[in-house]
Chains A and B, each alone.
Chain A
Amino acid sequence: MTATTTSRPDARPSTRDLLTRPDTRRRVVDRLMAVVVTSAFLIALVPLVSVIWTVLGNGIERLSPYFLVVSMRGVFGGMDAGGIYHAIVGTLMVTGFATLISVPVGLLTAIYLVEYGRGRLARAVTFFVDVMTGIPSIVAGLFAYALFAIFFGPGVRFGVVGAVALSVLMTPVVVRSSEEMLRLVPNELREAAYALGVPKWLTIVKVVLRTAVGGIVTGVMLAIARVIGETAPLLITLGVIDSINYNLFEGRMMTLPVYVFRQYSQGLVPCAPEAADCIATINYDRAWAAALVLIAIVMLLNLGARLVARYFTPARGH
């Protein structure tokens, strides 16, 4: 109806018609797309809620203080026993060591990019940091393995190898977030320090880093949250083991994500009908419980990162 007016101006409908009778097709399409767009968001909520719900529902039963403080040593078949202590130890040590490598390298690289970097080298670093963010985690594992196999021969598996693999994944994340934070530090602060005769490196250490510390800590926590759930590179660099290992430099180590995978892949236990002490789904139960612990750690890190960010923001905002 309104369409016809473009070709026949004399037969123009009244203003009231023009204003109150909108094109039904267009209105329907508009409403329909609003529904589609909204439901896209709701669709995304389905897996999120379902993952958290199933992990919580299936994991909570087996989760107990006992589960947290024992390893899998001497546990077999459908025994109602075993826990994740060795995996927690391994996860903390390996991730901790990876953090020790990644934070200095990542932070210094960020400082280089923001404070020193000019020209081709800086552009190359920026570009390849981006590219490095996209390295598949399993390739990082292969790289760490290939590197250490040169010195220790094939079949090498110990904590540091895994930590190196994780730091390949973690460093670019630290660089990106720290760089962003350092760029937020206003230039007037730097100039104020220079005006006092403070040399550049001290300005960076005492003024720039101190101003950006909240954001940097947030970024590091998010980076840890990202790599603490990595499974594939640790599977091939640390292997699997049932007992506790406190030594990063020797012997296989268990970590939480690998533990989840290990329990999952062992599958159902064939129980004899008369065996009272045999739980057929024990491996899955342990996998769910360990997954719950893992999710809790990751969510706590995310939450902590947000709190740190919030705690430091007002100081910078006013």
Chain B
Amino acid sequence: MAQRIDVKDLDVYYGTFHAVADVSMMIEARSVTALIGPSGCGKSTFLRTLNRMHEVIPGARVDGTVTVDGVDLYDPAVDPVAVRRQIGMVFQRPNPFPTMSIAENVLAGVRLNNRRISKSDAADLVETSLRGANLWKEVKDRLDRPGSSLSGGQQQRLCIARAIAVKPQILLMDEPASALDPISTLAIEDLIAELKNDYTIVIVTHNMQQAARVSDRTAFFNVAGTGEPGRLIEMDDTRTMFSTPSVQATEDYISGRFG
């Protein structure tokens, strides 16, 4: 069910501001693709265009195509709500719904489509999703406690469980571990390594080591200056990118000379 994403000549604008220019890339199915680059290079913006979340901001628009399984996400016939269901997202800061219990949080997305899900189906889905997010053992005895009672790392895994419960084809992660402590970060990274067997994963990260550890391919974004659009500088196998990048700027960034 995992699909690959084909991005062609993508430009993103916020009003008159040209945020991301001319990005083309192929994102492989059942793999982890890391997007790296300095702040303001447009990598998060680009990530959000992959499930049309950027449209939440008024005045945002896109030129170019993002094709999944032969369908352009920006085709007028495509419903952005359906896109976000098929392409899940995990955010920088864990954001479980504070008024819902752990189980309700997992089911939140599913209930949108299927109100009358039976009790046993729901329980099964909660268990498989939480197992999929490596959280089941920790929370199985307190599924009816509020999601906000968990630790930060657990909350983030709960959010991942919530995202995979709707069985998306692709998972987007926007710096999923940047607000977490090192141990929780490790748990998330292990989880990503397991999830890539079933999902196409795109992850934005500020952390070079993390990109090197979890990703199969890495794309480096850069920006020439403030007011300039961010651009894709190069993209390659992660091992190649971190050992012998073909562009000087990539090497400078990876070796910590700027950013």
* A residues lining the B interface (CB < 8 Å): 2-3, 5-7, 9, 12, 14-16, 18-23, 26-27
Q: Given A16-B71, A18-B86, decide whether A9 and B113 contact each other with a Cβ distance below 8 A.
A: no
Contact B78 A19 (CB under 8 A): yes
Q: Give, as a whole number of angstroms, the nearest-CB distance from B249 to chain A.
A: 36
Instruction: Classify the secondary structure of A's interface with B.
Output: helix
Contact B3 A6 (CB under 8 A): no
Contact B113 A18 (CB under 8 A): no
Nearest-CB residue, chain B, relative to A5: B167
- A6, A21, A27: which contacts B114 (Cβ < 8 A)? A6
Contact B69 A14 (CB under 8 A): yes
* Complex CA–CA separation, A61 to B113 (angstroms): 60
Contact B113 A2 (CB under 8 A): yes
Contact B69 A3 (CB under 8 A): no
- B73, B113, B125, B166: which contacts A19 (Cβ < 8 A)? B73
Judged by a CB distance under 8 angstroms, whether B57 is at the interface is no
Task: Produce 1/0 per residue, B202-229, CB < 8 A to A.
Answer: 0000000000000000000000000000
List 10 contacting pairs A-B, 8 Å CB cutoff, sorted by A. Answer: A2-B85, A2-B113, A6-B113, A6-B117, A6-B125, A15-B70, A16-B69, A19-B86, A20-B75, A26-B81
Q: Give, as a whole number of angstroms, the nearest-CB distance from A28 to chain B.
A: 13
* Complex CA–CA separation, A21 to B75 (angstroms): 13
Within 8 A of A (CB), among B69-119: 69-71, 73, 75, 77-79, 81-83, 85-86, 110, 112-114, 117
Nearest-CB residue, chain B, relative to A3: B114
* Complex CA–CA separation, A6 to B85 (angstroms): 12
Q: Give, as a whole number of angstroms, the nearest-CB distance from A22 to chain B.
A: 4
Nearest-CB residue, chain B, relative to A22: B79
Enumerate chain B residues within 8 angstroms of A21, measured Cβ to Cβ. 82
Within 8 A of A (CB), among B7-64: none
* B residues lining the A interface (CB < 8 Å): 1, 3, 68-71, 73, 75, 77-79, 81-83, 85-86, 110, 112-114, 117, 121, 125, 166-167, 169
Q: Given A3-B113, A5-B167, decide whether A20 and B79 contact each other with a Cβ distance below 8 A.
A: yes
Contact A9 B167 (CB under 8 A): yes
- B1, B70, B78, B125: which contacts A12 (Cβ < 8 A)? B1
Contact A23 B69 (CB under 8 A): no
* Complex CA–CA separation, A20 to B83 (angstroms): 9
Q: Give, as a whole number of angstroms, the nearest-CB distance from A7 to chain B.
A: 7
* Complex CA–CA separation, A37 to B85 (angstroms): 25
Q: Give, as a whole number of angstroms, the nearest-CB distance from A254 to chain B.
A: 52
Enumerate chain A residues within 8 angstroms of B125, measured Cβ to Cβ. 6
Enumerate chain A residues within 8 angstroms of B1, measured Cβ to Cβ. 9, 12
* Complex CA–CA separation, A203 to B123 (angstroms): 65
Enumerate chain A residues within 8 angstroms of B70, measured Cβ to Cβ. 15-16
Contact A23 B113 (CB under 8 A): yes
Q: Given A20-B75, A20-B78, decide whether A15 and B69 contact each other with a Cβ distance below 8 A.
A: yes
User: Nearest 10 pairs between A and B by C-beta?
Assistant: A15-B69, A22-B79, A3-B114, A20-B77, A3-B113, A19-B78, A16-B71, A22-B82, A19-B82, A15-B71
Q: Given A18-B82, A19-B86, decide whether A26 and B113 contact each other with a Cβ distance below 8 A.
A: yes
Most B-side CB within 10 Å, residue of A9, A20, A21: A20
Contact A6 B82 (CB under 8 A): no
Contact B82 A20 (CB under 8 A): yes
Sample of 12 further A-B pairs with CB below 8 A, known A9-B167, A19-B79, A20-B82: A2-B113, A3-B113, A3-B114, A12-B1, A15-B70, A19-B68, A19-B71, A19-B73, A19-B78, A23-B113, A27-B79, A27-B81
Nearest-CB residue, chain A, relative to B79: A22
Q: Give, as a whole number of angstroms, the nearest-CB distance from B16 to chain A.
A: 24
Enumerate chain B residues within 8 angstroms of A26, measured Cβ to Cβ. 81, 112-113
* Complex CA–CA separation, A20 to B121 (angstroms): 27
* Complex CA–CA separation, A255 to B16 (angstroms): 56
Q: Give, as a whole number of angstroms, the nearest-CB distance from B47 to chain A.
A: 19
Q: Given A3-B114, A26-B113, decide whether A19 and B83 contact each other with a Cβ distance below 8 A.
A: yes
Enumerate chain A residues within 8 angstroms of B121, measured Cβ to Cβ. 6-7
Q: Give, as a whole number of angstroms, the nearest-CB distance from A201 to chain B.
A: 45
* Complex CA–CA separation, A27 to B81 (angstroms): 9
Enumerate chain B residues within 8 angstroms of A7, measured Cβ to Cβ. 121
Enumerate chain B residues within 8 angstroms of A18, measured Cβ to Cβ. 82, 85-86
Contact A15 B79 (CB under 8 A): no
* Complex CA–CA separation, A26 to B112 (angstroms): 8
Enumerate chain B residues within 8 angstroms of A27, measured Cβ to Cβ. 79, 81
* Complex CA–CA separation, A77 to B157 (angstroms): 81
* Complex CA–CA separation, A21 to B78 (angstroms): 8
